[in-house]
């Protein structure tokens, strides 16, 4: 091989092109005096060099030594038709893209099957340590080999490794060339400013994203096209409801604020709206709101307006009438398993005290949380009150009744909460109650969170 043949190497999350040639996606790096590109574009660069018949030496991949996964795979999971279709669509899209399926529809099994199919070193990225342990448990049963872990104090790289987003972010520049396949569970987290560098630093040409909630409120899900390959398969909740998931109905209940609360709400709300009017500020998107927050750093009036708006929201979200309505609903479902969701922890603890229902918030220790969930599963408890902790990332027992006392306008949060009551239960219709304070901005918040029908 002639000495002047360009060589590609991996360095700190990038592909370095040693030899003075320019390739697509590469930029000139003055410090190393070479062209380099994000690891993400490794596949494109190789394709370009091959298509252009340019000779090169490839020293980029350094894969973890891997046994024949397809032979180890205990193929005892019978994939459902839509799961099979999801994998086919992903394969047709050159082993890249995001699969969108409702909570409880078996996304993990799709990932496991794809890992066996690709038969190559793989890293699975998950948002929480709880999920990391769930994946590791499923994977070790499916392949009977040791499953690596990165995160939660563990640093053990194996042909199949599961990592948290945080740890993958920290170690990406060192291990980004060690896997050919990367699976992002709960992939809607990936476009966040920090986490996206994981996708940029890994060279893995095979990429799969799994989520129940593709869209982000900040619109950054568009980045998933570049980072993972865009949406390749989606199955609506409605098409699985009744067959693979419980049938369900949604009941929206509007309650009036008490006179005192109403007065206090109006007073605070007008401080906010008066300020907007006075400054001629329009409020149409989260971006507009963000501008107001920035403004509040230097404008005391803006700060006062924001605090008043927060107080008004607090009144609407935590009204006494909601608690009374909750009492009625709980009486009606005395023999059912119930999750109660709120926006603020203050209300969680108030309900817990008043109705003697165990609370779970981020302040609850892991041990206590597991104990509560275990007792809920065994039937000792039939209700849990929580704010947002159980929205995602924790394996939660089945329930058939959900009560949203308050929440944000996030579609994701709404879908995740609905998902908590839809795991298939024979002959059982799930019901989601949404309780909203009348004549408050919560009416709009509630409208925003509903996914398009």
For DNA, the binding residues in 166-205 under the rule CB under 7 A are 166-167, 170, 188-189, 191-195
Report, in Å, the least distance between residue 351 CB and DNA. Answer: 13
Report, in Å, the least distance between residue 270 CB and DNA. Answer: 7
**Chosen residue from 96, 128, 134, 406 binding DNA by CB under 7 A:** 128
DSSP 222: G
434 belongs to the binding site for DNA (CB under 7 A): no
Contacts 24+ apart (CB under 8 A), 295-303: 301/275, 302/275
Considering only the stretches 38-46, 93-101, 254-262, 297-305, report the one whose residues sit in contact with DNA under the rule CB under 7 A.
297-305
107 belongs to the binding site for DNA (CB under 7 A): no
Site for DNA in 31-60 (CB under 7 A): none
256 belongs to the binding site for DNA (CB under 7 A): no
**Chosen residue from 47, 290, 320, 380 binding DNA by CB under 7 A:** 290
283 belongs to the binding site for DNA (CB under 7 A): yes
**Chosen residue from 286, 370, 374, 429 binding DNA by CB under 7 A:** 286
Would you say 102 or 205 has its CB closer to DNA? 102
**How far apart are the C-alpha atoms of 213 and 206, rounded to whole Å?**
22
CB atoms within 10 A of CB 359: 23
Residue 263, both tokens:
């007065």
CB atoms within 10 A of CB 435: 22
Sheet holding 248-255, edge to edge: 248-255, 430-437, 401-404, 338-341, 383-386, 359-360
Considering only the stretches 204-212, 341-349, 372-380, 423-431, report the one whose residues sit in contact with DNA under the rule CB under 7 A.
341-349
Report, in Å, the least distance between residue 244 CB and DNA. Answer: 26
Report, in Å, the least distance between residue 251 CB and DNA. Answer: 21
Report, in Å, the least distance between residue 232 CB and DNA. Answer: 21
**How far apart are the C-alpha atoms of 331 and 433, rounded to whole Å?**
14
Strands 7-11 and 57-59: parallel
* Coarse DSSP helix, strand, coil percentages of the chain, rounded to the nearest 5 percent: 45, 20, 35
**How far apart are the C-alpha atoms of 247 and 103, rounded to whole Å?**
14
8 Å CB contact between 345 and 408: no
Q: What is the DSSP string of 381-425?
A: --EEEESSGGGSSS-----SEEEES---S-HHHHHHHHHTT-B--
**Chosen residue from 343, 376, 422, 430 binding DNA by CB under 7 A:** 343
Site for DNA in 131-170 (CB under 7 A): 150-153, 164, 166-167, 170
Site for DNA in 362-391 (CB under 7 A): 362-363, 365, 367, 386-389
Report, in Å, the least distance between residue 77 CB and DNA. Answer: 26
Would you say 238 or 444 has its CB closer to DNA? 444
8 Å CB contact between 109 and 83: yes
- Residue 175: beta bridge partners? none
Would you say 272 or 337 has its CB closer to DNA? 272
**Chosen residue from 280, 335, 378, 379 binding DNA by CB under 7 A:** 280
């Amino acid at each position: 091989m002639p000495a002047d043949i360009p060589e590609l190497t991996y360095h700190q999350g990038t592909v370095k092109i040693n030899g003075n040639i320019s390739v697509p996606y590469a930029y000139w790096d003055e410090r190393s005096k070479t062209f380099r590109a994000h690891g993400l574009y490794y596949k494109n660069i190789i394709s370009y060099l091959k298509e252009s018949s340019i000779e090169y030496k490839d020293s980029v991949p350094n894969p973890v030594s891997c046994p024949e996964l397809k032979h180890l795979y205990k193929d005892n999971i019978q994939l459902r038709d839509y799961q099979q279709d999801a994998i086919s669509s992903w394969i047709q899209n050159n082993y890249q893209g995001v699969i969108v399926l409702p909570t409880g529809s078996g996304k993990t099994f799709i990932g496991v099957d794809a890992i066996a199919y690709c038969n190559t070193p793989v890293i699975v990225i998950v948002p929480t340590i709880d999920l990391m342990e769930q994946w590791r448990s499923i994977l070790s049963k499916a392949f009977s080999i040791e499953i690596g872990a990165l995160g939660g104090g563990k640093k053990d790289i194996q042909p199949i490794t599961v990592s948290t987003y945080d740890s993958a972010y920290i170690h990406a520049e060192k291990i980004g060339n060690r896997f050919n396949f990367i699976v992002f569970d709960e992939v809607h987290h990936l476009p966040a400013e920090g986490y996206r560098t994981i996708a940029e630093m890994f060279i893995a040409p095979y990429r799969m994203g799994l989520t129940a909630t593709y869209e982000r409120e900040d619109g950054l899900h568009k980045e998933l096209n570049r980072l993972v390959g865009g949406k390749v398969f989606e199955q609506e909740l409605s098409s699985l409801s009744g067959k693979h998931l419980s049938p369900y109905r949604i009941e929206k209940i509007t309650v009036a604020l008490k006179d005192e609360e109403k007065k206090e709400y109006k007073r605070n709300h007008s401080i906010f709206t008066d300020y907007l009017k006075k400054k001629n500020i329009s409020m149409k998107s989260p971006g507009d709101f963000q501008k107001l927050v920035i403004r509040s750093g230097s404008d005391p009036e803006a700060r006062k307006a924001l605090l008043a708006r927060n107080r008004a929201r607090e009144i609407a979200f935590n009204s006494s009438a909601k608690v009374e309505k909750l009492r009625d609903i709980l009486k009606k479902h005395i023999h059912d398993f119930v999750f109660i969701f709120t926006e603020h922890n203050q209300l969680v603890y108030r309900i817990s005290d008043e109705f003697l229902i165990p609370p779970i918030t981020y302040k609850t220790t892991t041990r206590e949380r597991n104990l509560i969930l275990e007792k809920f599963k065994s039937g000792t408890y039939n209700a849990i009150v929580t704010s947002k902790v159980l929205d995602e990332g924790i394996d939660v027992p089945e329930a058939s009744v959900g009560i949203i006392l308050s929440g944000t306008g996030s579609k994701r949060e709404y879908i995740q909460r609905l998902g908590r009551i839809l795991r298939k239960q024979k002959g059982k219709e799930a019901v989601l109650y949404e309780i909203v304070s009348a004549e408050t901005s919560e009416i709009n918040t509630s409208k925003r969170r509903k996914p398009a029908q």
